[in-house]
Amino acid sequence: MLLAATNRPEVLDPALLRAGRFDRQISVDRPVKNGRVAILNVHLKKIKLEKGLDPTQIAALTPGFTGADLANLVNEAAVVATRRYAQAVSLDDFVAAVERVIAGPEKRKRLLNPRERRIVAHHEMGHAIVAIAWPETDPIKKVSIIPRGLGTLGYTMQMPTEDRYLMTRTELMNRITVLLGGRAAEMAAFGEATTGAADDLQRATEMARAMVARYGMEPTLGQASFAAERPRYLDLPGLSPMQSEASEETNAKIDAAIRKLVDEAFDRATSLLQACAAVHRESAQRLLEKETFSEEELAPIRAAVLDRVGRPLMATAGPAPRIVAGAHQPDS
């Protein structure tokens, strides 16, 4: 029996896949929660866990992680525990390790001037407040204005509570609205845009383009897909950009529909932040002082936001493994 493995099955010569050759393909996808628990049990044997810590709790923090990601996570958590001279690795160490794996290491030596810190604080609280108000979004786990990695000036961490395989139009619109909450917050607080929302705008536009051109979620264009076929097994950014297979006239309609969705999401975020202006201003000031809000510290902000809007909002626009939305340096 001859076995072979590849991360790029879409570029293989079809002759290799004929009957009698490599005629059986087995796709090894990212592990689901039970699979992550099993992988963690292998790697956790190398470290001493805090008493009572269940690998299931760690697996819940890591949707979308591969086996290599989980191995790296265990090592990072052990390093975090070692730095605080702990005798065992706790769940908080794993949370810190997840942040490091996703957003990169803290860069406390990257000093921002006071105005930039204020902009980043308002930007991140804009993401957080918009996410709190919409019910069908992943819960906010942490908000920070401590720079991380190569270009992240601050971030708002959302963690899904379960593995997801389908998204509705409403959920996608809510995600776009949360992404644009940072830019809406900058405009509301300072009256002008900054370069910090570059990454958010790119992701929001890509999501809107997929809704229109790939998922057939725009009523004016009907139940049709205009995107060229992507790789069958992998969806790697930069290797296979979504190309439209429509006419020039239809492409113009696609562009208009994308702009409409993004503008609609931006207007929703702006309206919400205007309704919660006092909460936004006060929470941004507190974030400047504390630099980081944990999930528990966000609880009173959540209560204040829901008190202002009356209840979790429902999307009016009609019918993604870990998310880090935040302020970025341009081209980072």
The catalytic residue positions are 124
Cα–Cα distance between 157 and 95 in angstroms, integer? 11
Cα separation, 216 vs 62, whole angstroms: 30
Buried b (16+ CB within 10 A) or exposed e, 40-78: beebbeeeebeeebebeebbbbbbbbbbebbbbbbebbb
Please tell me the distance from the alpha carbon of residue 269 to that of residue 285, in angstroms, as a whole number. 20
- In which element (H, E) is residue 169 found? helix 169-179
Reduced to 3 states, what is the DSSP secondary structure of residue 211? Answer: helix
Nearest Cα to Cα of residue 131 among 262, 258, 257, 309: 309
Retrieve residue 143's tokens. Answer: 């908000």
**Cα 17 from Cα 12, distance rounded (Å):** 8
For residue 294, what are the β-bridge partners? Answer: 142
Residue 324: in which H helix or E strand, if any? Answer: strand 323-325
Tokens 């004929």 label which residue?
A: 18
